[in-house]
Amino acid sequence: MSEHSPVLLMVCPVFAAVFCVLFGMRNKAVCLPLVLLGLGGSLYFAVDVFYQVQASSSKAISYYLAGWNGTDFPRGVGIEYRVDLLNSLVLMLIPAVGLLAALFSREFVPRETPGKEPQYYTLFLLLLTGLMGMTVTGDAFNLYVLLEVSSLTGYALIAMGSPRAAVSAFQYVILGTIGATFYLLGVGYLYIKTGSLNMSGIHHAIVAHGLMESPAIYVAFILIFAGIWVKLAFFPVFNWLPNAYSQAPTSTGCVVAPLMTKVSVYIMVRVMITLFGADYVYGSLDWSGPIVWVSVIAILSGSVLAFAQKDLRRMLTYLIVAEVGYMVGGAWLLVPGGMARGELLSQTATGMVGTTYHIISDAAMTLCLFMAAGAMIRKAGSSRISSMYGLFSKSPVTMVCFVVGALSMIGVPPTCGFFSKWYLVSGAFAAGRWEFAIALLISSLMNAVLFFRVIEHAFFMNPDDKGEENIAPAFSENPSSMLVPLVLAAASLFAIGLFNKEIAGYLEQFLFYAQFGSYG
Amino acid sequence: MEVTIQHIASLKPLFVFLAPLAGLLGIVLLRKHPNAREGATFVAAISQCAVVYSMLPDVLAGNYPGHIFWEILPGVNIQLRVDPMGMVFAMVASTLWILTTLYAIGYMRGAHEHAQTRFFAFFAISITATMGVAFAANLFTMYLFYEMLSLATFPLVTHHQDKEARGGGRTYLTYLLGTSVGFALPAIIYIYWKTGGTVDFMSTEVLNWHIGKTEGGFLLLLLVFGFAKGGLMPFHSWLPGAMVAPTPVSALLHAVAVVKVGVFCILRVYTGVFDQELLHSLDTGLIVTYVAAFTVLVSSLIALSQDNLKRRLAFSTIGQLGYITVGASLLASGAIKGIDAPQAMIGSILHIAMHACGKITLFFCAGAIYVGAHKKYISELDGIGRRMPFTMTAFMIGAFSVIGLPPTGGVISKWFLIQGALEAKYTFVMAILLVSSFLNIIYLLPIAIRAFFIPQNEGAFHGRASEAPWQCVVPLCITALMSVLLFFFSGPLLELATDATQFLKPR
């Protein structure tokens, strides 16, 4: 409705954050309603933006901040917010996940960070603002600024966790900063060569000035991707992630784990498609061979390391590493020259569709699993998997949601995880990358073993198989403030799965309008 | 007889599919009142069975009722369609569900099992999934319900929640999920990708256009071994492992629903995925025949050495499933090219029904012996026939049917299978089927003979062995009777099986 929606969706949480500090100090009870209000506003404007994008003829809308009109000199220095079919979906995803995580946090924040509720919720809102900003912006430098906003708040939110969290957060700060610096350096190279900071501006300049073969652009590409991959926890720099995410406060884990890596994957896709362009990434510079192999290693090492974990949350964090491998690999599965042979976009770019679809489905299932794990740990009194026995009798709703999340992670139809794998495996077949298809299937099987280990502990009554008596623990379910967001997240896994055709349709349309397959 | 096939939109398949789910609701709501809870299962089972049989005239006339749920992927619907083959399976499963429910009440209460609500609830979900597989109109829908069945039966297999159940459950899921995700799923995705989204069982020719001989051979092996519920060696160990479940589960699920879903999927692969023309050109068709024949023979030999009654029956089941797979695999034989209704295939479809009635009787008896006399091992059963005359007589009849002796249904399906082997010019298959039947006699009949003719050991039963509760004995007598009746009234089944093979001839 409003032409200002792209910026209003960020303004809402920023103001909510300010009010959170101002009023929350006096009365802690106002914090959570403010968070919900701010994120609700974001979600409202994100949905509005989504419909605007649908309605526009080019399937993309631009919003120039401060009235900069995009043609002034120097060209391309000025912030443009640009929303197309891909980030309109991610923009709805972020506040939706934030809302559920905020609802879920009510039980945890006063307990895990007593007395710091206003600070906690302020950082929480700023983190989500940063993530939405990274998604909405069409400017490479502005992206860096917002990346730092989300990272700095993320460091603080993680450091508020267990006593060891401070060390992990410090490790994360070091690596995160190195990653961000690499990224900034790469953007600097690009600015010098093209004179633009606008993503599509940079791409146009690369094409117009014939810079495809330029070594400077090549170096910029390497720097930017090194930066993004560190932020992504892509193999081999992934060790910071399990430490940081598993020691963070429960409610931080529920928002950081689903969103941080997924938004970073979105950034990777954005940089590939809009900034460098498919013609550069797959054409002049074809790295698809080694990158898919590294993804295979990432998938397998994440799964294997998850096996070694005795702690439920740590196990889940290693699975994120594997999932990142899915998404990075999928993005590089384009069938070279497929369009030239007259194949449809849906056939040549299935891997990219799988990656982008998995951004959404993995965010939903990670949210579901982290919330379920938080709820299970609360009931079991310990995060060790071996302490989970009897939880099915104690809190059946929580466990059913965990099972749904687990099934999605394993890839059982009709949950969304199955369809992610479906698209990614089809993409691997189409590109002839059998190793990637096999790695995905192995990871599915390993997930099955991993999750059934947990489910088995929860289903059986005795921790040590001794004795014949199976005395079920008394029923004591988690409070509804936790169950409502958890059940909603679990239900969303089915919804995203059943509507996979529609979502994949949007994503194909996005690739079509981004002229993804047009090079040949 | 030439049948013109018509597809009619109907809500009946949907009803059949939803009846157990409605029953599930009743089971959960009435959990505090065991009698009313079991009443809900009966209402669901009987109404489901009635609707299944009401579709029989339509299906025989060539009108296949169907229902489309949802277009899940471009060109792929979650879709149900009742065709003759699905009809045979659905009739068997829905009829036996009613009897198993009655039996389960007697068994679960007689053996004082815990968590009975959970038991009946997951039983209903399993039946839903079974019906979904029976009526699935395409490969995707079939896979969906196949996986649903694997997961829904896990709480049933591990019902006792002790160490043994844990081990059995692990083996169960490892084999079933491992094969379906590792083999069947990539094959399905590959077929979907190659054919551009055509996975319907009625359009098999599309696959023929798109793939070559080598790919086809691999796909056949991936699919046949991927549906490991069919018990083909070397992926058969889950079945003996699953015998830790309470006997009603072993009876319905591991003699009828789950294992038959496995072979049913394999039959679908042979009839609904591969064109007959493509099938004849494959090199790997023979591999399946050999593996299945090997399974038949070896499992019969293993069964001989088992003392645990349920384990012996489990290995017997693996062998009988092998018969069904052998029958289907003969379709790949060049000798039956152009033959209208291959007898081996008819035999395979009939064997689904015949073996189901015979084997469920045997499992019911095993459970009744456990409830009535607390015996699990064959060596303890000397002379038990005098204490449990009904049970052991039924056991005898069930054994006759599994062996394939008249006057029981088993003889008809074996007749067709052996005829089919000759028709396909695979004499060694015929030889193996006959040898295996002989082994069946050796491992099944002595149980009944010892029960009746060897005097019981002094004090072996502590005076407490008698017939199990009537809820256990009545169903097993009925299934034994059904095995006999199927010998005399096999007409409709035979007609359905023939119809199912009608459209197999090369176009």
**Which of A489, A91, A61, A503 minimizes the C-alpha distance to A266?**
A91
State the pLDDT at residue B229.
87
Please name the helix (run of DSSP H) or strand (run of DSSP E) that holds residue B68, with its range, or none: strand B63-73
How many angstroms separate the CA of residue B342 from the nearest CA in chain A? 35
Contact between B166 and A456 using a beta-carbon 8 Å cutoff: yes
Query: Tell me: the pLDDT tens digits for A204-241?
Result: 888 888 888 889 999 999 999 999 999 988 888 888 88
Query: Tell me: the pLDDT tens digits for A376-433?
Result: 998 888 888 888 888 888 888 899 999 999 999 998 888 999 999 999 999 898 888 8
Residues of A with CB under 8 A from a CB of B: 346-347, 350, 407, 410-414, 419, 422, 425-426, 429-430, 437, 441, 444-445, 448-449, 452, 456, 459-462, 465, 468, 470, 498, 500-501
Two structure tokens written together for B460: 């072996």
- Look-up of token digits 């590109």: A431
- The number of CA neighbours under 13 Å toward the Cβ of A134 is 30
How many angstroms separate the CA of residue B356 from the nearest CA in chain A? 29
Contacts of B173 in chain A (CB under 8 A): 448, 452
Confidence of residue A1 (pLDDT cuts 50, 70, 90): low
Which one of A451, A456, A496 makes the best mutation probe of the B interface by having the most chain B beta carbons within 10 Å? A456
How many Å is the maximal CA-CA distance in chain B? 71
Q: Where are the alpha helices (DSSP H) in A63-198?
A: 85-105, 109-112, 117-136, 140-159, 165-194
Phi, psi of A311 (to 5 degrees): -105, 130
Query: Residue A280 corresponds to which amino acid?
Result: Y
- pLDDT tens over chain B, length 507 residues: 455 677 788 888 888 888 888 888 888 888 888 888 888 888 888 898 899 888 888 888 878 888 888 888 888 888 888 888 888 999 989 888 888 888 888 888 777 777 788 888 888 888 889 989 999 988 999 999 999 999 888 888 888 777 778 888 888 888 888 899 889 999 999 988 888 878 888 877 777 788 888 888 888 889 989 998 888 888 888 888 888 888 888 887 778 888 999 999 999 888 888 887 788 787 777 888 889 999 999 999 998 888 888 888 889 999 899 999 988 888 887 777 767 778 888 889 999 989 998 899 998 888 888 888 778 888 887 777 778 888 888 888 989 888 888 888 888 888 888 888 888 888 888 888 889 888 989 888 888 888 888 776 656 666 666 777 787 888 888 888 888 888 888 888 888 888 888 765 544
Looking at residue B288, the DSSP 8-state letter turns out to be: H
d(C-alpha A119, C-alpha B115), whole Å: 47
Looking at residue A82, the DSSP 8-state letter turns out to be: E
Classified as helix, coil or strand, A80 is strand
d(C-alpha B362, C-alpha B479), whole Å: 9
Which residues 124-183 in chain B show a CB within 8 A of chain A? 140, 143-144, 147, 151, 155, 158, 160-163, 166, 169-170, 173-174, 177-178, 181-182
d(C-alpha B45, C-alpha B24), whole Å: 11
CA-CA-CA-CA torsion sign (A51, A128, A82, A365): negative
Looking at residue B255, the DSSP 8-state letter turns out to be: I
Which one of A399, A452, A508 makes the best mutation probe of the B interface by having the most chain B beta carbons within 10 Å? A452
Contact between B114 and A444 using a beta-carbon 8 Å cutoff: no
ipTM metric: 0.87
Chain A CA closest to residue B169: A456
Confidence of residue A343 (pLDDT cuts 50, 70, 90): low
* CA distances (Å), origin A248, targets A105, A106, A123, A153, A170: 13, 16, 14, 13, 12
Q: How many angstroms from the chain centroid is the CA of residue B213?
A: 31
B185 touches chain A (CB under 8 A): yes
CB A252 within 8 A of CB A108: no
How many angstroms separate the CA of residue A229 from the nearest CA in chain B? 29
Which one of A421, A429, A471, A509 makes the best mutation probe of the B interface by having the most chain B beta carbons within 10 Å? A429
d(C-alpha B322, C-alpha B347), whole Å: 12
B481 touches chain A (CB under 8 A): no
Query: Tell me: the pLDDT tens digits for A450-468?
Result: 998 888 888 876 655 554 4
Tell me the whole-structure pTM to 2 decimals. 0.90
**B492 cis-preceded (ω within 30 degrees of 0):** no
How many angstroms separate the CA of residue A423 from the nearest CA in chain B? 9
Chain B CA closest to residue A465: B163
Q: Where are the alpha helices (DSSP H) in B283-409?
A: 285-304, 309-329, 343-373, 389-403
Contacts of B181 in chain A (CB under 8 A): 410-411, 441, 444-445, 448
How many Å is the maximal CA-CA distance in chain A? 81
Burial label for A381, CB within 10 Å (0-12, 13-18, 19+), is exposed
DSSP states along A1-64: --TTHHHHHHHHHHHHHHHHHHHHTT-GGGHHHHHHHHHHHHHHHHHHHHHHHHHSTTSEEEEE
Phi, psi of B377 (to 5 degrees): -105, 145
B28 touches chain A (CB under 8 A): no
Which one of A418, A435, A436, A453 makes the best mutation probe of the B interface by having the most chain B beta carbons within 10 Å? A418
> Which candidate from A419, A444, A501 shows the least CB-CB separation from B71?
A501
Q: Kindly report the CA angle at A60 between A258 and A496, in degrees rounded to 5?
A: 35
Cβ atoms within 10 Å, residue A378: 18
DSSP states along A386-401: GG-TTHHHH-HHHHHH
Can you give the length of chain B in residues?
507
A-B CB pairs within 8 A amount to 76
d(C-alpha A65, C-alpha A63), whole Å: 6
> Which candidate from B114, B178, B192 shows the least CB-CB separation from A445?
B178
Contact between A414 and B144 using a beta-carbon 8 Å cutoff: yes
